[in-house]
């Protein structure tokens, strides 16, 4: 019993020390140390700052949402079709990405606590950086399969609509 207790104490000492490899801890400590170092290295690697496409933070979203976001400067709006155009230019190589989407018809806003009304794309200031959360639906138009993006949330523009859609945790 005393040997068993001594052995488990030795194992605990190896696990909870600062993970330096020595003869008492063996290869397990070296392996754990390697895994922790690799994980930390990957976590600290700077990823390219994408304005373009991204992934949403955890939360409750419509069931059609796949986690897709796009960040760019608002370059054009059309109130008749409710479309907005966002553009992102990469700073390194000056390549430009363009994203066109329609704002959901139920997107409701309120100015400074006033009455709620349907958001018109022209209310958004041109040149403003926006992050949009959108659902993609594939439709066949004139024999071509086209991806249609519908914006249900714009970061920093509160949507007061009462959604009839089912929300799911993402």
DSSP 8-state secondary structure symbol assigned to residue 20 = -
| pLDDT tens-place string over residues 89-106 | 988 888 999 999 999 999
Return the C-alpha torsion angle 20, 23, 25, 30, nearest 10.
50
Residue by residue, DSSP assigns 110-168 as ESTT--EEEPPGGGSPTT-EEEEEEEEEEEEETTEEEEEEEEEEETTB-------SPEE
* Nearest-angstrom CA–CA distance, 122 and 32: 56
Q: Please tell me the number of Cα atoms within 13 Å of 113 on its side-chain side.
A: 0
pLDDT tens column, 110-159: 888 789 999 999 999 999 999 999 999 999 988 999 999 999 999 988 88
- Nearest CA-CA partner of 54 in 74, 68, 72, 73: 68
Contact 119, 136 (CB under 8 A): no
What's the pLDDT at 45?
37
pTM over 0.75, yes/no = no
What is the C-alpha to C-alpha distance for residues 156 and 162, in angstroms, rounded to an integer? 18
State the pLDDT confidence band at 85, using cuts at 50, 70 and 90.
very high
In this structure, whether the domain defined by 53-169 belongs to CATH 2.40.50 is answered with: yes
pLDDT of residue 61: 80
**pLDDT reading at 88 higher than 90:** yes
Exposed, middle or buried by CB within 10 Å (0-12, 13-18, 19+), for 72?
buried
Each domain of the chain, given as residue ranges in start order, spans 2-44, 53-169
* Per-residue pLDDT, 82: 96
pLDDT at 156: 84
Please give the mean pLDDT across all residues of the chain: 75
């Amino acid at each position: 019993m005393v040997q068993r207790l001594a052995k488990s104490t030795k194992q605990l000492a190896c696990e909870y020390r600062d993970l330096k490899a020595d003869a008492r801890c063996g290869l397990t400590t070296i392996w754990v140390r390697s895994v922790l170092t690799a994980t930390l290295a990957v976590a600290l690697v700077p990823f390219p700052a994408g304005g373009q496409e991204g992934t949403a933070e955890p939360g409750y979203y419509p069931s059609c949402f796949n986690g897709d976001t796009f960040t760019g400067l608002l370059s054009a709006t059309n109130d008749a079709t409710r479309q907005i155009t966002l553009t992102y230019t990469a700073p390194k190589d000056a390549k430009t990405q363009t994203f066109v989407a329609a704002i959901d018809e139920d997107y409701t806003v309120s100015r400074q606590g006033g009455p709620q009304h349907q958001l018109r794309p022209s209310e958004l200031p041109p040149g403003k950086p926006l992050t949009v959360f959108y659902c993609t639906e594939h439709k066949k138009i004139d024999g071509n399969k086209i991806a249609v993006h519908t914006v249900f949330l714009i970061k920093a523009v509160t949507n007061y609509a009462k959604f009839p859609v089912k929300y799911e945790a993402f």
